[in-house]
Amino acid sequence: MNPLHTEFVRLYHADPQHALLHDATRSALLGADGHVRCAVLELARPADWSMLGAVWRAVQTELELPAPGIAINGQDGYQLWFAWQQGISTETAHMFLQNLVQHYLPEVAPQRLRCWPGASSEATAKEGPFPASVPALHPHSGQWSAFIAPDLAAVFADEPWLDRDPGVEAQAQLLGRLEGMHQQVFAMAHALLQRAPTVSALVSSPKPATEAQSTDYPTDSPTAFLQAVMKDPAAPLALRVQAATALMPPTAS
């Protein structure tokens, strides 16, 4: 097992403890129990990092989740590779991607987007070769897909590919900087994302500043204050996530 395979298994394989040494492909992304530790959101035809990059940043700044991996697909698009530390159902992973799209990419034509896993484990198992293993030689373009560093993502807007193998060590180093989402933190962030208004809704019906600032939160206890902020749909999503995080019980060390 080379360093790249080790990191890929650590982040994305459904069952990393029993991953086959020769199998770093999508077949190992879906577990026998229908659970996954990986989800992929692709924006293509054409590639647009300004839009997908906004999702990448919002996941961290608003939802306070770890940064997903960034990949170019070797032909016409960018991908975000999300990882979980424990397996979750394909339905939950699919819903998370759909909520990200609805909240941050509501104006993007559906044919430009691809999501994995599908809405169910059965649908996911029947899907075609998506997501393909990264890095890999694309069968149609003859170019290479690859994981890329965030500060270089915009460089590939016109040509989302590499003309040569990106190399095992370099790819392993990129994946080595990533971490999967903790289940409890993800569940809280996802719940708030599901209740948050979409960007298009906020633009179409903006709330006057005086109204947005007029909310009176209870001040009799810190817990009551945080709960009110978390449940207030008018509060910025980032603040609601921070409030929810503060309310989480401490984990045993």
Per-residue pLDDT of the chain (253 residues; tens, 9 = 90+): 799 999 999 999 998 876 645 454 556 899 888 899 999 999 999 999 999 999 999 999 999 999 999 999 999 999 999 999 999 999 999 999 999 999 999 999 999 999 999 888 787 777 666 688 899 999 999 999 999 999 999 999 999 999 999 999 999 999 999 999 999 999 999 988 888 765 444 344 444 444 444 466 665 655 677 778 778 877 777 777 777 776 776 655 4
Do 128 and 231 share a domain, yes or no?
no
**Six-digit token pair at 233?**
């749909």
The pLDDT value given to residue 27? 63
Do 56 and 138 share a domain, yes or no?
yes
Does residue 37 form part of some domain?
yes
pTM of the model: 0.80
Do 154 and 223 share a domain, yes or no?
no
Does residue 190 form part of some domain?
no
The pLDDT value given to residue 250? 60
Do 166 and 227 share a domain, yes or no?
no
**Beta-strand pair 113-116/69-72:** unpaired
Q: How far apart are the first and last CA of the chain?
A: 32
Cross-strand pairs, 43: 78, 113
- Phi, psi (5° rounding) for residue 39? -145, 145
Do 168 and 216 share a domain, yes or no?
no
Do residues 103 and 193 lie in contact, with contact meaning Cβ atoms separated by under 8 Å? yes
**Six-digit token pair at 9?**
């298994």
How many whole angstroms separate alpha carbon 218 and alpha carbon 231? 13
How many whole angstroms separate alpha carbon 4 and alpha carbon 168? 6
Does residue 195 form part of some domain?
no
Residue numbers of the domain that contains 63: 3-183
Do residues 166 and 144 lie in contact, with contact meaning Cβ atoms separated by under 8 Å? yes
Does residue 58 form part of some domain?
yes
How many whole angstroms separate alpha carbon 54 and alpha carbon 170? 25
Alpha-helix runs per DSSP H in 105-198: 121-126, 168-176, 183-195
Do residues 42 and 74 lie in contact, with contact meaning Cβ atoms separated by under 8 Å? no
Do 121 and 224 share a domain, yes or no?
no
The pLDDT value given to residue 253? 47
Do 179 and 211 share a domain, yes or no?
no
Number of structural domains the chain divides into: 2
Rg (CA), the chain: 19
Q: How many CB atoms lie within 10 A of CB 26?
A: 20
Do 88 and 24 share a domain, yes or no?
yes
Does residue 194 form part of some domain?
no
